[in-house]
Amino acid sequence: MGCHGAIGGDSGNGTGNGPGVGTGNAGSGVSGVGTGNGGSAVSGVGTGNGGASGGSTGTGAGGTGVVTLPNSALQSGPLLRLANYEFMNSLNDILGFTPDVVLEPDAPSTGDFRIGGPAGDNTVTTYHTAAMNIAAQALKTLATIEPCYGTAATGAAAAQAMCANTIASDLGPKFYRRPLDPAQLTSLNGVYSTIAGKYGFQTGVQALLEALIQSPYFLYHLELEEESMGAGAAGMQKVAVTGYSMASRLSYLLWGSTPDSTLMTAAGMGQLTTTAQIQAQATRMLADQRVVPGMRSFYEQWLKVLDLPTSKVKNPVTNMDYGTLYSPAVQTSLRASFDAQVDAALWGGGDTIKALLSGSDVYVDGNVASIFGVTGVTGTQIQKVTANAAQRAGIITHPAIMSVFATDTSSHPIKRGVFFWDKFLCNPLPNPPPDVPAFVPPPPGQSLRQDFEIMTAMGSCPACHSRINPVGFLFEHYDSMGYYTNTDSNGQPVNSMATVFGTNDPMLDVATTDAVQFAAHLAADDSKVASCMVNQIYRYAMHRHEFDGDAMSLASLTDAFNNSGRSVKALLAGVTQTEAFLNRVNVP
Amino acid sequence: MLKNKISRRRFLRDIGVSAAAVPFIYGLESLYHKADAQTVPKKRLVVFYTPNGQLYGNWRLPQAGADLDISDGSLLSGANLNLNPLQANAKHLLILDRVSNIGSRAQYQDGSAGAIAAAKASGDPNGYDGINHPGGHQKGLGNLLTGEILVGGNNSVGNAGLGNGISLDQVLAQKFAGKVKFPSLEIGVQTNEDLTDRYVDKRISYDGPAKPRAPTTNPFVLFRNVFGSTTGGAMNTSADQQRADMDKSVLDNALSDFTRLQPKLSKGDSMLLQQHADSIRKIETQLTTVFKVDCSNIMAPMPQQGVDITDDTATHKWSMLLANFPTVGKMNMDIMVQAMACGLTNIATFFWANSENDMTFPWLGVANGHHGMSHARDPQLVKVDQWYASQFNYMINSFLAVPESGGAGTMLDNSVLWYVNCLSDGSSHHSDNMPFVLAGSNGGYFRQGRAIRFNNIFTMDPISDQKAPPAGVPDMSNSDLLVSILNSFEVATDPGKPPSTTFGRKDFCHGPLPNIKA
Q: For residues B360 and B369, is the Cβ–Cβ distance under 8 A?
A: yes
Tell me the chain A residues in contact with residue B156 when contact means C-beta distances shorter than 8 Å.
Answer: 4-6, 432, 436
Winning range, highest mean pLDDT, from A213-217, B40-44, B111-115, B369-373: A213-217
- Kind plus residue range of the DSSP H or E element containing B419: strand B415-420
Give the model confidence (pLDDT) of A10-66 as tens digits.
333 332 322 322 222 222 222 333 323 322 222 223 323 222 222 222 233 333 467
Count contacts between A and B (CB, < 8 Å): 294
Query: Roughly what angle, to the nearest 10 degrees, separates helices A462-474 and A515-524?
Result: 100
Q: Could you give the percent of chain A with pLDDT greater than 70? A: 86
Give A48: exposed, middle or buried? Use CB within 10 Å, 0-12, 13-18, 19+: middle
Q: Write down the pLDDT at residue A436.
A: 62
pLDDT of B21 > 70? The answer is no
Query: Roughly what angle, to the nearest 10 degrees, separates helices A527-542 and A291-302?
Result: 110
Q: How far apart are CA B300 and CA B335, in angstroms?
A: 8
Of B112, B162, B246, the CB nearest to A210: B246
- Nearest alpha carbon to residue B487 among B175, B162, B206, B201: B175
Of B193, B257, B312, the CB nearest to A217: B257
CB interface of B with A, residues 207-246, below 8 Å: 207-214, 225, 242, 245-246
Average pLDDT over residues B11-31: 46
Give the lowest-confidence range in A183-187, A283-287, A328-332: A328-332
Tell me the chain A residues in contact with residue B135 when contact means C-beta distances shorter than 8 Å.
Answer: 4, 6
Task: Find the DSSP H helices in B79-205.
Answer: 113-122, 125-128, 140-144, 168-176
Residues in a beta bridge with A79:
none
Q: Which amino acid is at A287?
A: A
pLDDT of A401 > 60? The answer is yes
pLDDT of B5 > 60? The answer is no
A377: helix, strand or coil? coil
Of A100, A230, A307, the CB nearest to B312: A100
Q: For residues B323 and B364, is the Cβ–Cβ distance under 8 A?
A: no
Q: Write down the pLDDT at residue B86.
A: 97
Give the model confidence (pLDDT) of A254-284 as tens digits.
999 999 999 999 999 999 999 999 999 999 9
Give the model confidence (pLDDT) of B345-367 as tens digits.
999 999 999 887 888 999 999 98
- Nearest alpha carbon to residue A104 among B143, B206, B320, B150: B206
Q: Does B370 touch chain A (CB under 8 A)?
A: no
More confident residue, A550 or B34: A550
Average pLDDT over residues B281-287: 84
Q: How far apart are CA A496 and CA A393, in angstroms?
A: 15
Q: Write down the pLDDT at residue A6.
A: 35
Q: Does B68 touch chain A (CB under 8 A)?
A: no
Q: How far apart are CA B238 and CA A100, in angstroms?
A: 27
Give the model confidence (pLDDT) of A542-557 as tens digits.
999 999 999 999 999 9
Cβ contact A190–B265 (<8 Å): no
- Residue B224 CA: distances (Å) to CA of B249, B300, B309: 21, 9, 11
What length does chain B have?
A: 518
Give the model confidence (pLDDT) of A60-99 as tens digits.
333 346 788 988 999 988 899 999 999 999 999 999 998 8
Given phi > 0 = left and psi -120 to 50 = alpha, else beta, which region is B324? alpha
Backbone φ and ψ for A29, nearest 5 degrees, come out as -70, 165
Angle at alpha carbon of residue A434, lines to A431 and A437, rounded to 5°: 110
Distance in Å from the first CA to the final CA of chain B: 33
Q: Write down the pLDDT at residue B236.
A: 65
Give the model confidence (pLDDT) of B133-167 as tens digits.
345 666 678 889 999 887 754 443 344 577 889 99
Rg for chain A, CA atoms, rounded: 26
Q: How far apart are CA A144 and CA A136, in angstroms?
A: 15
Residue of A nearest to B213 (CA): A122
Q: Write down the pLDDT at residue A41.
A: 29
DSSP B208: E
Q: For residues B299 and B334, is the Cβ–Cβ distance under 8 A?
A: yes
Give B496: exposed, middle or buried? Use CB within 10 Å, 0-12, 13-18, 19+: exposed
pLDDT of B42 > 70? The answer is yes
Q: How far apart are CA B41 and CA A204, in angstroms?
A: 38
Cβ contact B276–A118 (<8 Å): yes
Q: Write down the pLDDT at residue A34.
A: 30
Burial readout A428-449 (b: 16 or more C-beta within 10 A, e: otherwise): bbebbebbbbbbeebeeeebbb
Of B209, B214, B253, the CB nearest to A55: B209
Tell me the chain B residues in contact with residue A230 when contact means C-beta distances shorter than 8 Å.
Answer: 266
For A437-518, list the strands marked E by DSSP.
498-499, 511-512
Q: Write down the pLDDT at residue B222.
A: 92
Q: Write down the pLDDT at residue B192.
A: 65
DSSP A109: B
The total of other beta-carbon atoms located within 10 Å of residue B364's CB is: 13
Q: How far apart are CA A305 and CA A423, in angstroms?
A: 12
Pairing of strands B415-420, B44-49: parallel
Give the model confidence (pLDDT) of B237-258 as tens digits.
677 788 889 999 999 999 999 9
Pairing of strands B347-352, A583-586: unpaired
B138: helix, strand or coil? coil
Pairing of strands A511-512, A583-586: unpaired
**pLDDT confidence tier of residue B231, bands split at 50, 70 and 90:** confident
Average pLDDT over residues B434-463: 81
Give the model confidence (pLDDT) of A214-267 as tens digits.
999 999 999 999 998 866 677 788 999 999 999 999 999 999 999 999 999 999
pLDDT of B481 > 90? The answer is yes
Give the model confidence (pLDDT) of A556-586 as tens digits.
999 999 999 999 999 999 999 999 999 999 9
pLDDT of A487 > 60? The answer is yes
pLDDT of A351 > 70? The answer is yes
Q: Write down the pLDDT at residue A229.
A: 84
pLDDT of B183 > 80? The answer is yes
pLDDT of B110 > 60? The answer is no
Q: How far apart are CA A100 and CA A137, in angstroms?
A: 10
Query: Roughly what angle, to the nearest 10 degrees, separates helices A448-455 and A462-474?
Result: 170
A183: helix, strand or coil? helix
pLDDT averaged over every residue in chain B: 80
Q: For residues A405 and A471, is the Cβ–Cβ distance under 8 A?
A: no
Q: For residues B159 and A14, is the Cβ–Cβ distance under 8 A?
A: yes
Give the rounded distance of the alpha carbon of B99 from its chain centre: 17
Tell me the chain B residues in contact with residue A121 when contact means C-beta distances shorter than 8 Å.
Answer: 207, 211, 279, 282-283
Q: Write down the pLDDT at residue A260.
A: 97
Q: Write down the pLDDT at residue B391.
A: 98
Q: For residues B331 and B338, is the Cβ–Cβ distance under 8 A?
A: no
Of A55, A191, A434, the CB nearest to B110: A434
Q: How far apart are CA B88 and CA B18, in angstroms?
A: 11
DSSP sequence for B65-84: -SEEE-TTSGGG--TT-TTG
Q: Write down the pLDDT at residue B30.
A: 58
**pLDDT confidence tier of residue B283, bands split at 50, 70 and 90:** confident
Cβ contact B266–A199 (<8 Å): no
B156: helix, strand or coil? coil
pLDDT of B471 > 60? The answer is no
CB interface of B with A, residues 287-346, below 8 Å: 287, 312-313, 316
Q: For residues A417 and A472, is the Cβ–Cβ distance under 8 A?
A: yes
